[in-house]
Amino acid sequence: MLPGIVMQDEPLSQISLMKHLAAENVVCLTNSTVRAIKDDVVEYTDKDGNLQKIAYDTVISATGLRSDTEAAEQFRGTAAKVFTIGDANKAGKIFQCFHNAWHAVRNI
């Protein structure tokens, strides 16, 4: 759906991955939204909103992550200070988890 792929990764990982994809002649469809996965084709709308179809052998769904805040919310009010850290706060990378944890510890 985004205008590019691996947009949030470290530059070195991104460059390396893009090289591998190019070497294998992988076509990346950006600005495209999957609408349906049928028995033999994936249907998607392209950047102009037109419905397109593409045949597939294998579908791997890797469409991103979203926080599940429900479990963490249940702890709210059970202690003077409650911190939500890591992916429960915002789905991201391990670095952000450590960063959140560090700030939580400093605020205890």
Ligand X SMILES: Cc1cc2nc3c(=O)[nH]c(=O)nc-3n(C[C@H](O)[C@H](O)[C@H](O)COP(=O)(O)OP(=O)(O)OC[C@H]3O[C@@H](n4cnc5c(N)ncnc54)[C@H](O)[C@@H]3O)c2cc1C
Provide the binding-site residues for ligand X, judged by CB under 6 A: 71, 86-88, 92-95, 97
Closest CA to 30 of 39, 40, 41, 21: 21
Do 38 and 48 touch, CB atoms closer than 8 A? Answer: no
For the CB of residue 89, give the shortest distance to ligand X in the complex, in Å: 8
Q: Which is nearer to ligand X, 44 or 86 (CB)?
A: 86
Q: Which is nearer to ligand X, 43 or 87 (CB)?
A: 87
3-class DSSP assignment, residue 93 = coil
For the CB of residue 68, give the shortest distance to ligand X in the complex, in Å: 8
Residue in this structure with the two tokens 């429960």, named with its chain if needed: 88
Nearest-CB residue to ligand X? 86
For the CB of residue 54, give the shortest distance to ligand X in the complex, in Å: 24
> In 10 A of CB 18, how many CB atoms?
15
